[in-house]
Amino acid sequence: DYQKAFEFQKRALKFWTQDSLIQSNQHHIANTYAHLDAAYRHLE
């Protein structure tokens, strides 16, 4: 069933891109916190 396989592929791709977006967001947030922490220590 070609149509069903296509739908499944589309859903899997959407799920995968969502997942990698979340991961890169977490990485970005961690980087931001590290920068803020460094700036805060510099101010003290």
Q: Is the pLDDT of residue 7 over 80?
A: yes
Structural domain boundaries in the chain = 2-42
- Confidence at residue 25, expressed as pLDDT on a 0 to 100 scale: 86
Q: How far is CA 34 from CA 16, 37, 39, in A?
A: 27, 5, 9
What pLDDT, on a 0 to 100 scale, did the predictor assign at position 2?
83
Report in angstroms the alpha-carbon separations of 23 from 5, 19, 43. Answer: 27, 6, 31
- Dihedral sign (CA 33, 38, 43, 44): positive
Note the pTM of the prediction, 2 decimals: 0.48
10-42 pLDDT per residue, tens: 998 888 888 888 888 888 889 999 999 998 888
- The pLDDT confidence band at residue 1, using thresholds 50, 70 and 90, is confident
CA distance 22 to 9: 20
